[in-house]
Structure 1
């Protein structure tokens, strides 16, 4: 028996295993905190299922969180590498001296919904009515609709209506039951409300357009620390690549959405089709964000929401958008 030959063979095998393990260990991991059950999971699940992260050269790990504040704490504490939130938060952080960057994810926004036959055919008909609003008094959709009502109908929605603030599912139920006369909700809850017989009185995108804003400006995005962007630009580019690949698949491949249907929690085909259409309509175009349009939107948010919403960010801080 040639022990020398056996030893050499074992050495080659061990070396191969070592290099394979080393190569595997060198694949960078990107940890993203995402709201448990939120729509961003549709994209993240698509990335993992089809190996779009591996194809781009990284390993995606998703950490479920209970809400946006928990995600922000996880990012600021270094527990994750990225979260999904709006770019107003990024602008605020940058204005306060904290370095975060924004990679566009979605331009989808909600709207104002009513029941047919409720006697509400324009925003002026809301005077004296009760409005349910998903979120709080600083919700961006609510602020835009307030500005629109002032411009188009000459009245303050805040002063001349009764508001009920709450979580999106609660606002949906209050609207469907008639507890409130109208409701402002996020796009994916609007899809369910529409399937329940409600109609959209005014999309936030239309109100924004009437105010001289650009509804094509992406509102939500992946937010990453500036240090990560500077030190691992290839990893950030890989995330952008995987995200775009997932969007393109979900935009064109009905089977990719069918696979997600159980986690979408659609009660029927109408809800499901509305959710698919809403997601696809919210896919932002690739390329740079129009910073002039974003600056106009930030100025309006600063005027209506003040420091409680945007902190010291009254103008758009340079470097907010990674695509620029």
Structure 2
């Protein structure tokens, strides 16, 4: 009997040694600004296990902002960041293999105080406008083009501009130092909750210029070699992002869980931030590359080499397509 047990044990061990070893899921190192809105989604993905259920493990590394994240990606220190597809197009044209997976199409707008008499951009003539970013900020360029086409004015010539970081523009707007302010969507939501109103949204301006507002500007940017090493990873990232958004769109408890990291000053601000995030959810399906090419052409015309470098047309492979 003892010999039979030993024989069975040896047979079982032999079978186990022949069984395939399941590979560990790939670890995706993402450089994200944990104080930013992207962490609302990243934290939701990790908390509900939407990364592991889709076959990968998301590891988040905190960075100070977009430039630091881009440097880390360029150096190969991380696998993924969040950036805009225009940056990806510029990098691909320079020979760097990065791929864009849509994350958000949320954009802001030019906001004015609730009691402002302004009804059009022309009404801001002689006033001071705050712009989050630089003179080649994409939303500012779109608004300038809109003002020229629709209202026949050069907004940069008829107003004075203050360019600066989003918190600076936010504070200056609420302190009454500006007649108008163009800020990132989340600061715009806070400004709306504080009583400001949108004069012209970037989405409205884009439509007037013949651009497709459904084109997502921001996305997860992944190193091409990482996607090639794990062919299903691109779709897995997209699925985890989509499932996190679906959870946030349908489950109030998911928002209450992340509310502390949103740092909303009150219920109105919390609701404005939630509504803004949900409004920015991209539609399902591949990015319309023809629409993206039209936006690139406009950005090239308005921003020049300072914005797009030597880029003349949309390179191949910028956008990840489902099933690719």
Q: TM-score range by the shorter chain?
A: over 0.9
2:71 is matched with 73
1:160 equivalenced with 2:137 (yes/no): no
Q: For 1:136 and 1:271, locate their aligned partners in 2 and report how far apart those are by CA, in whole Å.
A: 26
1:136 equivalenced with 2:144 (yes/no): no
Shift of the 311–5 alpha-carbon distance from structure 1 to 2, 3 Å rule, reads same
Correspondence for 2:94 among 86, 89, 96: 96
Q: Once superposed, what is the RMSD of the aligned Cα atoms?
A: 2.4
1:299 is matched with 297
Shift of the 257–12 alpha-carbon distance from structure 1 to 2, 3 Å rule, reads farther
Correspondence for 2:49 among 48, 51, 64: 51
Shift of the 61–4 alpha-carbon distance from structure 1 to 2, 3 Å rule, reads farther
* Unmatched runs of 5 consecutive residues or more in structure 1: none
Instruction: Give the structure-1-normalised TM-score.
Output: 0.93
* Unmatched runs of 5 consecutive residues or more in structure 2: none
Correspondence for 1:173 among 171, 174, 194: 171
1:42 equivalenced with 2:25 (yes/no): no
Q: For 1:48 and 1:321, locate their aligned partners in 2 and report how far apart those are by CA, in whole Å.
A: 24
Q: For 2:263 and 2:10, locate their aligned partners in 1 and report how far apart those are by CA, in whole Å.
A: 53
1:242 is matched with 240
Correspondence for 1:216 among 210, 214, 217: 214
SS in structure 1 at match of 2:321: coil
Q: CA deviation at 1:11?
A: 12
Q: CA deviation at 1:5?
A: 6.7
Q: CA deviation at 1:314?
A: 2.2
- 5 Å matches for 1:186-225? 186-225=184-223
Q: CA deviation at 1:116?
A: 2.1
- Superposed CA deviations along residues 42-75 of structure 1, whole A, max 9, x for unmatched, are 1100000001111111111001100111000111
CA contact (8 A) 2:101 2:234 kept: no
2:249 is matched with 251
Q: For 1:210 and 1:151, locate their aligned partners in 2 and report how far apart those are by CA, in whole Å.
A: 8
Aligned length: 321
Shift of the 64–4 alpha-carbon distance from structure 1 to 2, 3 Å rule, reads farther
Q: CA deviation at 1:185?
A: 0.6
Instruction: Give the structure-2-normalised TM-score.
Output: 0.93
Q: For 1:71 and 1:11, locate their aligned partners in 2 and report how far apart those are by CA, in whole Å.
A: 53
